[in-house]
Amino acid sequence: MKISGFTFVRNGNSLGYPFVPAIRSLLPLCDEIIVNVPRSTDDTLESVKAIGDPKIKILETEWDDNARTGGLVLSHHTNLALEQCSGDWCVYIQADEVLHEDSISAMRSAMERELNNPAVQGLIVDYTHFYGSYWTQTAGFGWYAQEVRVVRGGKKIRSNSDAQSFRTMDGEKLDVKKSGGHYLHYGHARHPEMARQRLRDFSRLWHDDKTVEKICDRPAGFYEDDQKVKPFTGTHPAAMRDVVATADWTYVSRNPLIRFKRRLFWKDVALLVKKTTGLEIGVHRNFRLLR
């Protein structure tokens, strides 16, 4: 069984992506890792090269600064990396995600177990999402608990939309099983100023400049003080520990029970329903889970 890893990263250093830990976290699992580095304006390419592992294969591509349609440029560059994978299984990681080493053995076992079961098109991983700092994890409704991060090789599966997940070539959701893998998502934990710049850069993939400025009108410390969070009491992946140790910012939330904002109110109601009855309402999943 051959396992390929793949990812893409652009301007990772200037935007505060932990892309080097992300790539390093896949090395013990994968036989090769395809890293697509679109044309950047910082030293991201040099940082990838400096990892210096022969498993890493770098793909240098162009970047369209005028692409502002639905974040489709993200899936496009993800697919450029996926197309170069030669493994039986292909493990995707985004530049702000890191695989915890404690779950590598379980992931490998799941891939071996399902290798000759064609009904299984992919595998999902579990998530911990951080908000505001490396020591506060999300506790609200609407953050995905699982997502597809392992897909079969063979070019019959594609990253879709804004690269959140994967679909078949016909646009169908994948039939998946659990991998036992655990990803930690650091996209909303970075330094507030880098978070502000990342939001501006990311929003340009969807919106015109006027709308971007409205979206980027944030509090002085960037992070909103009404996010539902709880203390993170687990362990960070080994690849992230040096990064976490140098962090000098904190986050405190009011943790309101109900937030009377259009985009958050029904999520809070759904969370209350789940806590009191165990029922999940309004949950969208990008996959079909096989039993």
Per-residue pLDDT in tens (0 to 9) along the chain, 291 residues? 999 999 999 999 999 999 999 999 999 999 999 999 999 999 999 999 999 999 999 999 999 877 767 789 999 999 999 999 999 999 999 999 999 999 999 999 999 999 999 999 999 999 999 999 999 999 998 899 999 999 999 989 999 999 999 999 999 999 999 999 999 999 999 999 999 988 988 788 888 888 888 888 888 889 999 999 999 999 999 999 999 999 999 999 999 999 988 888 988 999 999 999 988 887 889 999 998
Determine how β-strand 32-38 pairs with β-strand 3-8. Answer: parallel
Amino acid at the residue 179: S
Largest separation between any pair of C-alpha atoms in the chain: 53
Instruction: Confirm if 89 and 29 have CB atoms less than 8 A apart.
Output: no
Selection from 151, 164, 146 nearest residue 70 by Cα: 164
Distances (CA, A) of 10 to 7, 40, 108: 11, 5, 29
Instruction: Confirm if 279 and 273 have CB atoms less than 8 A apart.
Output: yes
Instruction: Confirm if 90 and 33 have CB atoms less than 8 A apart.
Output: no
Distances (CA, A) of 100 to 88, 165, 211, 241: 22, 20, 37, 11
pTM for the whole thing?
A: 0.93
Q: What is the CA radius of gyration of the chain?
A: 19
Selection from 223, 217, 202 nearest residue 133 by Cα: 223
Instruction: Confirm if 92 and 22 have CB atoms less than 8 A apart.
Output: no
Angle at which helices 44-51 and 19-26 cross, to 10°: 30
